[in-house]
Chains A and B, each alone.
Chain A
Amino acid sequence: MGNPGCFSWAGGKNRGKMVSYWAASATGLMAAGRMKRDDPMNWQSILTWIWANAFDPTKANVLVALVLLGALILYFIHHARRGRQLYVRPIAGLQSVHDAIGRATELGKPILYVSGIGGEGDVATIASMNILGCIAEKVADYDTELRVPCISPIVMTIEQELVKQGYTRAGRPENYREDNIFFVSDDQFAYATAVSAMMIREKPAANFFMGSFAAESLLLAETGSSTGAIQIAGTDQATQIPFFIVACDYTIIGEELYAAGAYLSREPLLLGSLKGQDITKLVIMVAMATGIVLVTVGTVCNADPRWYNWFVTLFAV
């Protein structure tokens, strides 16, 4: 190798020959031309340009982590696809979903499903949609009414399609009623008020609050609680979880919301991704424990900070 940062093929059989080159970055910009293969300046400038524009080196650790974690998840999905049985720990909130639907069926009352105030791009809303699909399938089986008030018209459109698919999978497409999945308002408190009023008027037997919630979480959950409905809630918003725990019968906490779709549907592909998540959590726990031990031992032994800081900086963003 020649100068630092250059790409010279010293000793190669093509050294000194004129070659064509091209370099493209993900930005769509491209450089091309002809040059001597061992000309360090040309290669250096190209690589410098690509390095400066195509990739932010301060985010290299994020990219490595992303690739590793993504690969782990895809690996376990692949395993599941090959038919390997995967164990998923019981989650009380999700086990009770069937009981709640059964109760509503016995009482002949509707089920209310609220997918939060997140938009279609919110991951919690997407997870909520997966749960809705599973619940719709079960509800179609029992021939119970499912009411889904929406805060976003786009989310409403997607949820209409999801519920329709659920009814179709259950073999009851004729029972699907598009009117039951409707837009209410895109204002947070107007939506909360309308849904609370619905709960008081229609007195659904089971309320599901799954998705992204903010201040309206307690308004909805307390109103539902006062009507005597069985309530199951799940959110990834750490600040709203205590409200749901207090006011609902079962609460799905944080990541369990993302696992719910896989848990309810029992699809091997989705269960595989859960296993991948668990392994990545194990990796993170090991990394955290290693960091704690290194820093503690280093501090107690009064060691040179460089001795343990290299590990800490691996995770700095």
Chain B
Amino acid sequence: MKSGLPRYICGICGVLMLLQFFIPAKFVQETVVEWVANSIMIVGCFGLAIGLASLIHSHGTRIRRKTPGWGFSVVTLATAAIVAFVGLVPRSVTFDQADKGVVAHTVTTRVDRIEYTVFGYQPETSNLVASAATGNMPVQRTSKPLFDWAYNYMLYPLGGTTFALLAFYIMTAAYRAMRVKSWEAGLLLSSALVVLLGQIPVEEFLPWVRIHGISVFERLKELIMNFPNMASQRGILIGVALGALATSVKIIAGIERPYMGGRS
């Protein structure tokens, strides 16, 4: 029973979700799908609690044992506590987009877009409000000014900075990949050079590479991208789809049970 029940629940849920793809009834397409989405959110909430507990436990242990770099753990826990507190702060501002031509269902009082709060001047910068102002999306949004500030001016730029590092990593990776050590590497290098030259307007500087008004490199680039590249990508995609199907069948049939920590 202990191992059987989760297996049956998983199998039944899997089959039901599979069937809903084929059933056009409104009840299934709206109610059932919404119910599943809500269930996932509820499970996610429990997951958040587990994650928080794990975070506190792992960093707490590092601080207690004074392992090298334990100061970073203090910063992590302090930041988590501050952001959680700010997110739960009751002072909030409700925005009404009625003056922007957007209908708000439940908002009765209209306030300015810019607020002076206990944390100071807070311009509204979220994408949600920006998109609502230009479209017809009904919106009722409760803003947490400092929380938004922390997200927009701290987390967002930090993420952007990390993402920007990717450019340098691509350079070093490309350098390593294009060192000609074998004929395969040579083939890769020549293909890459052709694609690079096809991406830039090389015919502006070298008019002789132009054939019928289009750069020969651009034609070669299209040839490489549309045929060998596309063919191999589609081959991978077909394999991935089949692998996903086989994995799903095994999970629904209870042959593979990662959710219970192993196999049958």
Residues of A near B169 (CB, < 8 A) are 218-219, 222
Residues of B near A273 (CB, < 8 A) are 246, 249-250, 255
Residues 52-68 of A at the B interface (beta carbon under 8 Å): 52-56, 59, 62-63, 66
Residues of A near B43 (CB, < 8 A) are 154
B39 CB, min distance to chain A CBs, angstroms: 12
Q: Is the CB–CB distance between B242 and A277 below 8 Å?
A: yes
Query: Is A133 an interface residue, CB under 8 A from the partner?
Result: yes
Please, how many angstroms separate the alpha-carbon atoms of A158 and B248 in the complex?
A: 17
Q: Is the CB–CB distance between A153 and B27 below 8 Å?
A: no
Q: Is the CB–CB distance between A265 and B163 below 8 Å?
A: no
Please, how many angstroms separate the alpha-carbon atoms of A231 and B120 in the complex?
A: 49
Q: Is the CB–CB distance between A270 and B24 below 8 Å?
A: no
Residues 4-31 of B at the A interface (beta carbon under 8 Å): 18-19, 21-25, 27-28
Query: Is B166 an interface residue, CB under 8 A from the partner?
Result: yes
Q: Is the CB–CB distance between A70 and B249 below 8 Å?
A: yes
Which of A130, A182, A253 has a CB less than 8 Å from the CB of B256? A130
Residues 236-264 of B at the A interface (beta carbon under 8 Å): 236-240, 242-251, 253, 255-256, 258-264
Minimal Cβ-Cβ distance residue in B for A54: B23
A167-187 vs B, Cβ < 8 Å mask (1 yes, 0 no): 001000000000100111011
Secondary structure of the B contact surface, majority rule: helix
For chain A, which range describes its interface: under 10, 10 to 19, 20 to 34, or 35 or more residues?
35 or more
Q: Is the CB–CB distance between A219 and B165 below 8 Å?
A: yes
Query: Is A259 an interface residue, CB under 8 A from the partner?
Result: yes
Query: Is B55 an interface residue, CB under 8 A from the partner?
Result: yes
For chain B, which range describes its interface: under 10, 10 to 19, 20 to 34, or 35 or more residues?
35 or more
Minimal Cβ-Cβ distance residue in B for A242: B177
Residues of B near A274 (CB, < 8 A) are 246
Known A-B contacts A27-B23, A156-B54, A183-B51; A215 and B163 likewise in contact (beta carbons under 8 Å)? yes
Q: Is the CB–CB distance between B50 and A63 below 8 Å?
A: no
Please, how many angstroms separate the alpha-carbon atoms of A312 and B166 in the complex?
A: 42
Determine which residue in B23, B159, B250, B260 has the highest number of CB atoms from chain A within 10 A of its CB, and name it. B250
Please, how many angstroms separate the alpha-carbon atoms of A25 and B22 in the complex?
A: 12
Query: Is B106 an interface residue, CB under 8 A from the partner?
Result: no
Known A-B contacts A130-B258, A276-B246; A218 and B54 likewise in contact (beta carbons under 8 Å)? no
Please, how many angstroms separate the alpha-carbon atoms of A193 and B76 in the complex?
A: 13
Q: Is the CB–CB distance between A277 and B173 below 8 Å?
A: no
Please, how many angstroms separate the alpha-carbon atoms of A271 and B154 in the complex?
A: 49
Which of A59, A247, A258 has a CB less than 8 Å from the CB of B22? A59
B46 CB, min distance to chain A CBs, angstroms: 8
Please, how many angstroms separate the alpha-carbon atoms of A188 and B159 in the complex?
A: 8
Residues of A near B258 (CB, < 8 A) are 126, 129-130, 133, 158, 162
Q: Is the CB–CB distance between B260 and A153 below 8 Å?
A: no
Which of A53, A66, A269 has a CB less than 8 Å from the CB of B255? A269
Known A-B contacts A255-B242, A277-B246; A189 and B22 likewise in contact (beta carbons under 8 Å)? no
Please, how many angstroms separate the alpha-carbon atoms of A162 and B159 in the complex?
A: 31
Q: Is the CB–CB distance between B155 and A187 below 8 Å?
A: yes
Minimal Cβ-Cβ distance residue in B for A63: B22
27 A–B pairs (Cβ distance < 8 Å), ordered by A? A27-B23, A53-B23, A54-B23, A54-B25, A120-B259, A123-B243, A123-B248, A133-B258, A133-B263, A158-B258, A162-B262, A182-B58, A183-B51, A189-B163, A192-B162, A218-B170, A236-B244, A238-B236, A247-B173, A255-B239, A255-B240, A258-B243, A265-B263, A267-B263, A270-B250, A270-B256, A273-B246
**B residues at A contact (CB < 8 Å):** 18-19, 21-25, 27-28, 40, 43-44, 47-52, 54-55, 57-58, 61, 68-69, 155, 158-159, 162-163, 165-166, 169-170, 172-174, 176-177, 233, 236-240, 242-251, 253, 255-256, 258-264
Other 14 A-B pairs with CB < 8 A, given A63-B22, A246-B173: A26-B23, A73-B245, A73-B250, A126-B256, A154-B47, A162-B261, A183-B54, A186-B51, A187-B155, A190-B155, A241-B236, A246-B176, A258-B240, A277-B243
Query: Which 9 pairs, one residue from A and one from B, show the smallest C-beta to C-beta distance?
Result: A153-B51, A258-B243, A255-B239, A161-B261, A255-B243, A189-B162, A183-B54, A254-B236, A165-B261
